[in-house]
Amino acid sequence: MKRNTKLLALIMSAVLTIAVFAGCSAKPAESAAPSDSVTPSAADTAYGTRKIVDSYGRTVEVPTTINKILPFGSSSLRLVCYLGAEDMVNCVDESQQDPKTINVAIPYKQVFADKFADLPVVGKYSGGYITYNEEIIAAAPDVIIVSYFDLAQIETLQEQTGIPVVGIKCAKGMFADDLTYSLTLLGDLLGKQDRATELNSYISEIKEDLNTRTKDIPESEKKTVYSGAMSYYGQHGIQGTMAGYPQIAAINAINVADAAADKASESGTFEADIEKIQEWNPDIIFLDPFNMSLVNEEYKQNPVFFELLDAVKNGQIYAQVAFIRDGFNVELGLIDCYYAGICVYPEQFSDVDIAVKAKEIFEKFLGEDIYSQYAPAGLAFDKIKIGK
């Protein structure tokens, strides 16, 4: 009987797929502006569906009323939590229940882990996202929201489950248009339009505040900054860096790694040459405390390299808690901006208490202040001594 039920579900999903797939474009496209979303027709509304345009430029037919969702991939679930729609989640991928990743380094997991602890697991990440389609069909979410999937994966998942799949993109930082669009899109999809507008406005206000504080600093007085020990595709030591690093750009400082942007990946990350770091000799260095064991080992092997750097000699080494971990943690990125401002331009940020600002930002995005948990976890916003 169970086998027959499952077979019937698969047959029904195939029938649904034909109807849904007919309304979807398989052609990749740039993110459309939110105003380009397709307005539901009278026929759509009569059948309880409407059409939206996702971040891949696909027109997707979705239910007018959505009660249950599957956000697959960390960025999908993260944005759902930011929007206050976590109670709509009825199944998750395996990584959301992995105790190794539930900590303050990934704030939304730290805050909402209990919400998802007992939900059905319908996929995992293992060198790529793997979906358990029969389990997804059994969980019967009204819509699937995915991030970091390629277009072919999205279309295949929709075809095989018969459930609308909405793709989002938010891989370019907290001030990027793709995040703005994804929040707007999900706000519209999940009935959280006001919350999406609130968050987008808040992010814009922070961007403007950071710029206003620093935009009039003369070029000759701007500090040179290097951000190292970044995690991307695993942990890295001092050489792991990022061109176009949004925290440095936001405070109008000079990111020395931008000079080697031609070596960077699409996201801006790359491994800087030791000789280049010496040549750049930045005024200030930020390091991810999560990767300090690697940096300290490098110091033991080559102390001269570090000791010749002005930032080391002058005690200008600071923690920069990584905002890229399991995708972009927007709240951490914004807190990092203010802490970078305090360290690089103390006069312009003299009125900012990082604990107070972090509390404001955490509460805005997550509804809870977890700043006090960072220092005990070894992720304090503080000065760093290399080799200790």
Whether residues 186 and 245 fall in one domain: no
Cβ atoms within 10 Å, residue 176: 17
pLDDT over 50 (residue 9): no
270 within domain boundaries? yes
pLDDT of residue 38: 38
Strand spans (E) along 138-181: 143-147, 165-168
pLDDT of residue 47: 56
Whether residues 188 and 227 fall in one domain: no
386 within domain boundaries? no
Could you report the per-residue pLDDT of 90-108, keeping only the tens digit for each? Answer: 999 999 999 999 999 999 9
Residues of the chain with pLDDT > 90, as a percent, come to: 77
End-of-domain residue from the set 149, 170, 201: 201
Whether residues 360 and 243 fall in one domain: yes
CA–CA separation, 254 vs 315, rounded Å? 19
Whether residues 232 and 162 fall in one domain: no
Q: Which of 22-26, 130-134, 198-202 has the lowest mean pLDDT?
A: 22-26
pLDDT over 80 (residue 31): no
Whether residues 130 and 37 fall in one domain: yes
Residue 381, CA atoms < 13 Å, CB-side half-sphere: 23
208 within domain boundaries? no
Average pLDDT over residues 381-388: 90
Average pLDDT over residues 160-164: 97
pLDDT of residue 233: 79
Residue 155 domain boundaries: 2-201
Average pLDDT over residues 296-308: 96
207 within domain boundaries? no
Whether residues 161 and 188 fall in one domain: yes
265 within domain boundaries? yes
Whether residues 245 and 167 fall in one domain: no
pLDDT of residue 172: 72
Return the CATH number at 24: 3.40.50.1980
Whether residues 143 and 192 fall in one domain: yes
- Report the relative pairing of strands 123-125 and 129-131 from DSSP bridges: antiparallel
Average pLDDT over residues 286-313: 96
pLDDT of residue 45: 46
Residues 6+ apart with CB under 8 A from 168: 54, 55, 75, 76, 79, 145, 146, 147, 182, 185, 186
How many angstroms separate the Cα of 238 from the Cα of each of 21, 291, 301, 337?
47, 9, 13, 20
Whether residues 177 and 277 fall in one domain: no
Q: Is 238 helix (H, G, I), strand (E, B) or coil?
A: coil
193 within domain boundaries? yes
CA–CA separation, 53 vs 32, rounded Å? 7
CA–CA separation, 373 vs 361, rounded Å? 15
What pTM, to 2 d.p., does this model score? Answer: 0.86
382 within domain boundaries? no
Radius of gyration of the CA atoms of the chain, in A: 23
- For residue 10, give the amino acid letter: L
Task: Provide the number of structural domains found in the chain.
Answer: 2
Q: In this predicted model, which residue has the larger pLDDT, 265 or 303?
A: 303
pLDDT of residue 265: 67
pLDDT over 80 (residue 34): no
End-of-domain residue from the set 201, 226, 260: 201
